[in-house]
Amino acid sequence: MVPARLVVTNLLKKLTAYKALDGDGYILGVTKLKTICKGKRHESTKCFSFLVAFICRTLLPMKGEVMFGIVHRVLRTGVFLKSGPMELVYLSAQKMPNYHLVDEGNPLFLSNDLSRIEEGVVIRFVVLATRWRQMNCDISVLASIEGDSLGPVATAGLDGFEL
């Protein structure tokens, strides 16, 4: 008889090995364990396997969804954002209307109204497209700030703001 605690511990370890699952997105956390079926022993390996049913919170970005991200890399062609567990959110310079690259010292994008997009800035963006990347088990996102209420977000006084 294998203790349920051991089964749950191994389940959680296995889930953390996956960045995301195709069609389900990123697993943020297990909220409820429904059932653990009786284990089946494999004679050849002398290991047990268990069918486990659980409920969990997931994050699956969808086209048209508005999200927040923090700029972590600025390139000539655009910026990369981190948003929760997603580390591949790309905002192309073509999808930043009225912003132009300033490549003196630390590169940044500056708008006509002098708002800046640089490392550490929080951006409100809309998801244009997503792509499942099988090799890395993650989801890449193409973003845009074309539209109302999108772009850099004022975070005055929010030390340690984390998404």
Ordered structural domains, the chain, with CATH: 4-59 (no CATH), 66-152 (2.40.50.140)
pLDDT of 156 reads: 62
Residue type, 57: R
pLDDT of 162 reads: 59
Average pLDDT estimate for 135-147: 92
More confident residue, 16 or 162: 16
What does the pLDDT look like over 27-80, one tens digit per residue?
Answer: 888 888 888 888 788 888 878 787 888 898 999 999 999 999 999 999 999 999
Mean pLDDT of the chain: 88
Q: How far is residue 128 from each of residues 82, 91, 95, measured CA to CA in Å? A: 16, 10, 10
pLDDT of 1 reads: 64
| Backbone CA torsion sign across 156, 159, 160, 161 | negative
Element (H, E) at 14: helix 4-17
Tell whether the model's pLDDT for residue 7 goes beyond 60: yes
What does the pLDDT look like over 87-99, one tens digit per residue?
Answer: 889 999 999 999 9
C-alpha 139/C-alpha 154 separation (Å) is 27
Average pLDDT estimate for 17-32: 85
Percentage of the chain lying above the pLDDT 70 cut? 93
